[in-house]
Amino acid sequence: MTFSEFKKYIPKIEKIDLFGEKAHLELSPKFRTNELKQINFAEKNPKYAGVMALFYPDKHAETRIVLILRKTYKGVHSAQIGFPGGRAEHIDKDLQETAIRETYEEVGVQPSNIQVVKKLTKIYIPPSNFWVQPFLGHCEHTPNFKRQESEVEQILEVKLIDFLKKESLTSQNVTTSYAKNVEVPGFLLNQHVVWGATGMMLNEVRLLLNKVL
């Protein structure tokens, strides 16, 4: 789909109701669903983060969404696929500003070039104790991406048509620092399995787009 075609649907995307936790649960690993039922959020005192599902035209005017492969490090999200974004800082007036600032820091998209379309459904991530607020946004022009070398291993530019294919939905066995050889639902995008919180947030994006496109 060309980006000019995609932009015609933005007013509809702005008005459509969110799918909420229902969308997240469709792509939630079973162990995560059970874990969330037992959490006392008041006791956890979670931190907050903002992330951006950013759509843009590539050099051929086709619509893409950007994801990142995080660096390998001693942390729960080591070497995982995610949205550009990160932890809220005291300099941010709100989580939307957090998402925009972190997108600039991680992949180099100028804040003035990001137009936020919609606030999506927030999600809690138990391993890192974060409430994450995702936003759906777009750029009018092809970004000049520049990865943050200290945190980002690779920038992934995913075609919208590939993301929306039924064949992109998958189920894989994965092993992480907090789960061993577990089956998880997710997306197969650019030869990477995207699961967990990112997969759950992506599923709401998928359902929104499928309803209006």
Q: Which domains does the chain have, with CATH numbers?
A: 3-211 (3.90.79.10)
pLDDT class of 78 with cuts at 50, 70, 90: low
pLDDT in tens, 146-195: 999 999 999 999 999 999 999 999 998 877 666 677 889 999 999 999 99
pLDDT at 79 exceeding the cut of 80: no
Tokens of 19: 């799918």
Do the bridges between strand 130-138 and strand 47-57 make them parallel or antiparallel, or are there none, so unpaired?
Answer: parallel
Total-model pTM: 0.93
Summarize pLDDT for 119-140 with one digit per residue, the tens: 999 999 988 899 999 999 999 9
Q: Which stretches does DSSP call E strand in the chain?
A: 47-57, 63-70, 81-82, 85-87, 115-119, 123-125, 130-138, 152-159, 169-174, 182-189, 192-195
